[in-house]
Structure formats: C-alpha cells, structure tokens
Amino acid sequence: MVDFIQIVFILVSLFVLFAMYMTWTVPKTMQAAYWLIMFLVGIAVLFLLANSEIIFAFQISIYGGGISVLLLFAALLAQHDDYTFVGDSLSGKIIAIIPQLIAYALVAFNLILLPVLALTSDEYAGNITTSVLGDSGLTVDQAFKNTADFSAQLWSTYAPIIPFLAMLLLTALLGSVKLVIREWELEELSDLMRDRYKGTDREVIA
Amino acid sequence: MAEESTDQLPLESFVKSLFDPLFAGHTPGWVMVLVGTVVFGTYILINQLIAPWVERKIMARMQGRRGPVYVGKWGVLQIPADLLKLALKEDTRPAGADKVGFFLAIFLTSVTSILAFAPLPWGTEGMIPGNFSIGILYIFAVFSIFPPAMMVGGWASNSKYSLVGGFRSAGQLVAYEIPMFLSVIGIIAITGSFSLIGITEHQAVHGWNILRTQHWLMGLVLGFIFFVSSVAETERVPFDIPEAEAELVMGPRTEFSGWRYALLMMVEYLHLTINSMLFIYLFFGGYNPIPWGISQGSALYAFANNPWVQFITMSVKIYLFVAIAAWLRSALARLRIDQLLNLGWKYFLPVSLGALIVMLSVAPELRQQLV
C-alpha cells in the first residue's frame, strides 16, 4: 500500500530527474549550475522523506550550499557564464546531445533503482517509515537513521552503484577543470589588462 | 473519554473543543499540526509587518525625526500600505534577464526563510511547530542555500550592479557562516543536543549560556561573535556592503520590483527574526524568563514553565533584538568590503576557534562524561 509520503517521495524523485535532465541540456553554464542546485536540493528532500535528517542537513549544507557557491564563483570568475555547449549546426547539436542523453539515461536508471528497491523490497517492508516532521515516534530499524546504518547499506546493498558514481564524479571533475582553463585572447582584454597580461603593469601604473 | 490533561494549553484545548465534534471526539494529529502552523505562521507574518515599523520609529527618534505617522494610528499601518502598493505594481522583468534564474532567486530565498521557522520552539509542549532532533543543523543547512540563490539572482538580472552585489553577498555570507557555526559547536557539545528545545531546556537548569561562569565566560565571547556574524548574515548596516546604495543601487535586489521586491524585503526581516531567535535560543535562554538555573521545587519553576509566560518572553526578547538591530543601523557607518572580509576571516574565525577550544577544555559537563 502506497501512502501519501511515498507519493511525495516519487514526485520529488521525478523532479530530481527533471532537474538533472535540465542540468545537462540547458545551453549556458550558469543555467546548468542553478539546475544542479535544484537537483541537489531535491536529493536532500528525498533523504528527509526517508527520515535521514542528518544526511539531509549535510547534503544541503555541503552540496546545495558550499559546492554550489564554488561552482558559481568558478563559472562567473572564469567568464564562462555565457558559454554555450550546443553547437550551431544540426550535426553539432546532435553530437552534443547524444552523449548527454546516454549519460542521463544511465544515471536516471541508477537513481530510480534506489528508491524503487527501498520501497518494494520485502526486507524493508514495515521498516522504512517516512516522516517530514522529524522525530515523530516512528521506528526505523534498517533505514538511513544514522550514519552507521547508512554506510552499512551503502557498502552492501548499493555497492554496485558506488563505482559508477565515482566514475561520474571523476568525469565531472575533469570536465570542470577543462571548463575553467581558458586561453585568453589578448584582443578581448582592455588596454590595462592586456599590459598586465604581458607583465608590463609597472609602466602602466607609473 | 480520557480526562483532559492539566498540562494542556488553553489554545490546544480550544482547538480540541472546536474540532472534536467533527472527528467523533478525537481530533487527529494532522489537524492540530495544520491549526498550529496557521496560528504560528500568522503570528510570525504579522510580526514581519510590525518589526519594520518598530525599526523605522526607533531609527527616526535617534535621528531627531518622527518616522511614519500618516497611515493608521502612529503610522502603524505604513508597512501594510507599502506592501499593498508593491503587490499592486506592474510585474516587470529586465530585458535579457534569465527567466528561470530570476524567479528561482526569489523562490529559494523566500521559501528557505519560511522553512527555517519549522524547528523554532515558542514554549514547551504545544508551542513547538516541529521537534527536529537536528534543529540547529537544519537551520544552518536551510540557510546555506541563500548565497547561491543571491548569486543566481544577481547573474539572472542581467545588470552589472546586481552581479557585483551577488558576488559580494555570497562572499560575505560564506565568510561569516563559518565563525557563526564554530560559535555554536561549543554549545552543542556542552548541552549534548542539536535540538533547540534540548539546548533551551539545558539553560533552564543551568542558566543562560552567555552568563555561565563555569566556562570562563567563553559563552560571552562566542555569543558576541555569533551576534555580530548574525548581523553580517542579514546584510544590514554596518554590513550592508552587497547593497551599498551609493555604489550598487540596491545590489542583487536592484532589478526586482513589485511583489518580487516585497518578498525580498520580507526575507530580510525574516532573516533578522530568525537570527535573533537563534541567538536567543543558543545564548539567551530561549523561552526561559529567568537568567539563572532554577530547580524543580523552587517558587519560580511554575512561573517559568507557564506556556504563556514562555511565549511572551520569546516575543519580548525578539523585539529587544529588533530594537538593537535598529540601534546599530542608525549608530554605525558601513564597513568597506576589505574590512568586512578581514573581520570575518582574520579575526572572528581564529578567535571563535580559540574560544571554542577553551570552552570545551574547561567544561565540567564534558569532563564528567570522560570520567
């Protein structure tokens, strides 16, 4: 029997998938960054609904807040806020979109697998209780109530997903390094900045 | 039918008497939660209309003016009139603005500000919107969404003023969040609880944290750092660098008008209220009216545990801090951006860390646990 909280859980999961799709398909870096924030906040709400308040708090503080600010600073300071991913020609667009859709399908499959496993498995039937009001007297024996239980689940039931996520994070890291590295074109700098770039700023200041 | 508990609040019994006939004598919990949310939400929002008026009156008196006088008795309806005017204005968005980002900035800042009220207790049983076991972590988590939201709002406005303001806002918030959190960790360790109710109840027994001498008055040092950091977090004078009007018009808020501007201004006062409440719970005894610890048998115990006394104590303390914020706003000049960041990173961060270490090393509560 699916109760009200489980319906909310599924709706939030769908929102997470939508935000993830938007993150990959919007043309500008800054747009991708704010959709990523929505995606991370959505994941945090899933943790809250699964009665894992501590993981919710850390997910929001570290990923929704801290990492997002770093991403936004990097995108804006590297002047990549108007960078467009999708090419102008039709073939360029197709080439750009196909790998994104494949990666999206892979991650979506894994993300859907996790809540579906949790909600349908006999092992957890009657154990996972969801609550949006925190400590409401409900007992959660096998779910993500504390970090010890969470890590135990993470490295047993969901262990196959971890290497996949690690690869994804590594790819994201390399991608972000590539994004931030920028070959400055001297023509697009102001006179002052061009002189500084050439190392003759002392003369300019004097 | 079960006997009515003597601990039951007048409000609780009134709601029960109202809804019991509809639910065959037993009002379900969700109705109580719904009614409680509406009652507390209305009280908080009404206070958001009064607090700016109080602030404007205090600032006016300090500057030899009269403040708002025309709308309502003593000008008390000035803020609702302003709100009505803003809500009825044409909804405009700058050309070239990013539609989703422009909306998301307002949505995220206003929703997170309202959500932050969920674990804040107004008294003991029956006056608690949600008893979160991680109340303090929850509030810090919800607040951490604020800096990226302001940056996205600044970028999405397609204005240089907004963009620079968004940068400054995020930099300032990040710089003061860390000393603010460090000053809280000591309190969490000593009380042994993340829950704001647990922290407040601990102070009911041992006295207000800011005055406790067992920790070499480190509560006073950490309290001062927390208070100044919380003023900086609200981006008000003397820390209103993101919106320094002589340089940046209105900072990240420059391009927002009408209902959007009204919501952003409401968020500013919600932040002021939440930060004042946090300071009260952590250092000023929460809803306890008595500054020193009281035992269960003492004459003051019944008085201090009366729910209405607790509720009024909380309201009075909040307005005390609104008055202090107004005082600071009219008495101090704005810092420069480098002074502000130096204060946060070079002074508050090491001092809060040092005070935290001293507090933890002399705390008798922790020594007992180790033994």
The per-residue pLDDT for range B180-200, each reduced to its tens digit, is 988 888 888 888 788 888 888
pLDDT of A22 over the 60 cut: yes
Of the candidates B131, B143, B145, the beta carbon closest to that of A41 is on: B145
- Spacing of C-alpha A93 from chain mean position: 23
> Both tokens of residue B267?
């968020």
Q: Return the higher-pLDDT residue of B264 and A108.
A: B264
- Residue B10, helix vs strand vs coil: helix
Separation between Cα atoms, residue B330 and residue B143, nearest integer Å: 26
| Residue in A86, A113, A109, A83 with CA at minimum distance from that of residue A98 | A86
Query: Are the beta carbons of B137 and A57 separated by less than 8 Å?
Result: yes
Q: Return the higher-pLDDT residue of B51 and A128.
A: B51
Q: Are A185 and A35 in contact (CB under 8 A)?
A: no
Name every chain A residue with its beta carbon within 8 A of the beta carbon of B129. Answer: none
Of the candidates B101, B144, B174, the beta carbon closest to that of A34 is on: B101
A28 backbone dihedrals φ, ψ, rounded to 5°? -105, 150
Name every chain A residue with its beta carbon within 8 A of the beta carbon of B120. Answer: none
Report the residue of A21, A26, A34 to disrupt the B interface, i.e. the one with the largest count of B CBs within 10 Å.
Answer: A34
Query: Are the beta carbons of B147 and A31 separated by less than 8 Å?
Result: no
Question: Residue B21 carries which DSSP code?
Answer: G
A111 Cβ contact partners less than 8 Å away, ≥ 6 residues apart: A13, A16, A17, A20
Of the candidates A34, A61, A72, the beta carbon closest to that of B144 is on: A61
Query: Are the beta carbons of B141 and A134 separated by less than 8 Å?
Result: no
Separation between Cα atoms, residue B193 and residue B211, nearest integer Å: 19
Residue B294 CA: distances (Å) to CA of B190, B200, B240: 18, 13, 41
C-alpha angle B203-B204-B207 in degrees, rounded to nearest 5? 55
Query: Are the beta carbons of A34 and B152 separated by less than 8 Å?
Result: yes
Q: What is the pTM of this model?
A: 0.75
Q: Are A64 and B144 in contact (CB under 8 A)?
A: yes
Please count the CA atoms within 13 angstroms of the CA of A146 that sit on its side-chain side: 4
pLDDT of A113 over the 70 cut: no
Report the residue of A22, A72, A77, A82 to disrupt the B interface, i.e. the one with the largest count of B CBs within 10 Å.
Answer: A72
Name every chain A residue with its beta carbon within 8 A of the beta carbon of B140. Answer: 57, 61
Size of interface A-B (CB pairs under 8 A): 88
Please count the CA atoms within 13 angstroms of the CA of B47 that sit on its side-chain side: 20
Considering chain B, what is the average pLDDT of its residues? 82
Min distance B81 CA to chain A CA atoms (Å): 34
Name every chain B residue with its beta carbon within 8 A of the beta carbon of A147. Answer: none
ipTM above threshold 0.85: no
Name every chain A residue with its beta carbon within 8 A of the beta carbon of B144. Answer: 60-61, 64-66
Of the candidates A38, A57, A133, the beta carbon closest to that of B130 is on: A133
Q: Which residue in chain B has the smallest CA separation from A81?
A: B155
The mean per-residue pLDDT over the stretch B153-165 comes to: 85
Of the candidates B101, B132, B170, the beta carbon closest to that of A69 is on: B170
Q: Return the higher-pLDDT residue of A25 and B222.
A: B222
Q: Which residue in chain A has the smallest CA separation from B104?
A: A34
The mean per-residue pLDDT over the stretch B207-220 comes to: 81
Tens of pLDDT, residues B42-79? 888 888 888 888 888 988 998 889 888 888 888 888 88
> Both tokens of residue B299?
């004459």
Of the candidates A53, A64, A81, the beta carbon closest to that of B155 is on: A81
Report the residue of A38, A41, A58, A68 to disrupt the B interface, i.e. the one with the largest count of B CBs within 10 Å.
Answer: A68
Of the candidates A38, A57, A68, the beta carbon closest to that of B141 is on: A57
- The least confident of B5-9, B28-32, B173-177 is B5-9
Of the candidates B130, B144, B155, the beta carbon closest to that of A76 is on: B155
Min distance B131 CA to chain A CA atoms (Å): 7
Highest mean pLDDT, choosing among A23-27, A82-86, B265-269:
B265-269
| DSSP codes of every residue in B230-288 | HHHHTT-TTS-GGG-HHHHTTGGGTT--THHHHHHHHHHHHHHHHHHHHHHHHHS-TT-
Q: Are A12 and A42 in contact (CB under 8 A)?
A: yes
Query: Are the beta carbons of A38 and B104 separated by less than 8 Å?
Result: yes
Min distance A119 CA to chain B CA atoms (Å): 24
C-alpha angle A176-A180-A181 in degrees, rounded to nearest 5? 120
- The least confident of A121-135, B6-20, B296-310 is A121-135
**What share of chain B in percent tops pLDDT 70?**
91
Query: Are the beta carbons of A135 and B119 separated by less than 8 Å?
Result: no
Query: Are the beta carbons of A64 and B148 separated by less than 8 Å?
Result: yes
Q: Are A60 and A41 in contact (CB under 8 A)?
A: yes
Q: Which pLDDT score, from 0 to 100, does residue B279 have?
A: 92
pLDDT of A133 over the 50 cut: no
Q: Which CB contacts under 8 angstroms, 24+ apart, belong to B31-40?
A: B33/A133, B36/B129, B37/B129, B39/B11, B40/B117, B40/B122, B40/B129
Q: Which pLDDT score, from 0 to 100, does residue A20 have?
A: 83
- Residue tagged 């109530």 (tokens): A145
Q: Which pLDDT score, from 0 to 100, does residue A147 have?
A: 56
Separation between Cα atoms, residue A63 and residue B28, nearest integer Å: 37
Residue B202 CA: distances (Å) to CA of B145, B189, B197, B223, B281: 30, 12, 8, 17, 11
